[in-house]
């Protein structure tokens, strides 16, 4: 009897599944996932297919992160990212459309990570507006200082397409992040009104955005300064 073949290979072809090396198995899995999400319209996807798409999406962004640690953004092609992620170039284009779309998706994922950290900082300092805001900005500085795409922004020859993400095309990031933060200010111990929550969400996000391309010379001092600026407003809520 023939040994079992790896999923995704034609019946009776290829070596037994146990004989595939790790790299081959990983690439085969990505290929199967990418084929599934390419051929199935989003409205017809079942939960498993949606999960597979999310895994593939994050795998591609992880691959981009790895490439950015080694090379300049300007030298990275969609084919490079596809190869590093173990998916087809067509899959990359179907999901992200272009390098610009890929960069936007990477920026959105980084934004989600940053906002989650900010929400944790706020929840972790009940009744302490100063402590919450100081932690919000200190954690923000730590996180972005270690991100390779942010480092691209901080070079003298920063690419125009990346700079546009935090300048003329930054509204999608501002809306995405401030909407989430506003919910936190509204439903956490801060208990802000809709208006005050929106003001705080927009202010924190726009302040953070201003530090991306031009980081503070002293992150601790900058975090304390932002906390001194914002804490009185938080303290005035409900009074």
Q: Note the pLDDT tens digit of each residue in 88-139.
A: 898 899 889 999 999 999 999 999 999 999 999 999 999 999 999 999 999 9
Last residue of a domain, one of 97, 125, 158: 97
Q: Are residues 135 and 222 in the same domain?
A: yes
Q: Note the pLDDT tens digit of each residue in 42-62.
A: 456 566 666 777 788 888 999
Q: Are residues 91 and 198 in the same domain?
A: no
Which residue blocks in the chain are alpha helix, DSSP H?
22-39, 47-68, 78-85, 89-96, 99-123, 129-145, 148-153, 160-163, 171-187, 194-213, 219-236
Q: Note the pLDDT tens digit of each residue in 6-39.
A: 444 444 444 444 444 434 444 444 444 444 444 4
Buried b (16+ CB within 10 A) or exposed e, 195-226: ebbbbbbbbbbebbbebbbeeeeebeebbbeb
Residue 137, SS3 per DSSP: helix
Torsion of CA 22, 26, 27, 33, to 10 degrees: 160
Q: Are residues 54 and 135 in the same domain?
A: no
pTM: 0.76
Q: Are residues 111 and 220 in the same domain?
A: yes
Q: Write out the residue range of the structural domain in which residue 200 sits.
A: 99-236
Q: Are 85 and 60 in contact, with CB atoms under 8 Å apart?
A: yes
């Amino acid at each position: 009897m023939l040994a079992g073949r790896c999923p995704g290979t034609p019946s009776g072809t290829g070596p037994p599944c146990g004989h595939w090396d790790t790299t081959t198995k990983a690439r085969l899995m990505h290929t199967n996932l990418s084929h599934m999400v390419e051929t199935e319209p989003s409205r017809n996807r079942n939960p498993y297919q949606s999960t597979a798409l999310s895994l593939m999406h994050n795998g591609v962004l992880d691959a981009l992160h790895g490439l950015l640690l080694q090379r300049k953004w300007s030298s990275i092609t969609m084919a490079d990212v596809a190869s590093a992620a173990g998916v087809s170039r067509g899959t990359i284009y179907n999901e992200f459309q272009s390098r610009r779309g890929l960069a936007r998706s990477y920026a959105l994922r980084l934004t989600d990570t940053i906002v989650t950290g900010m929400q944790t900082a706020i929840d972790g300092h009940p009744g302490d507006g100063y402590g919450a805001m100081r932690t919000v900005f200190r954690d923000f500085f730590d996180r972005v200082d270690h991100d390779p795409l942010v480092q691209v922004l901080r070079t003298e020859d920063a690419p125009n397409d990346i700079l546009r993400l935090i300048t003329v095309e930054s509204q999608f990031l501002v809306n995405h992040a401030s909407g989430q933060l506003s919910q936190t200010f509204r439903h956490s111990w801060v208990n802000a009104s809709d208006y005050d929550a929106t003001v705080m969400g927009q202010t924190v996000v726009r302040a953070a955005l201003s530090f991306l391309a031009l980081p503070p010379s002293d992150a601790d001092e900058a975090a304390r300064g932002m906390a001194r600026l914002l804490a009185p407003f938080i303290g005035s809520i409900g009074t």
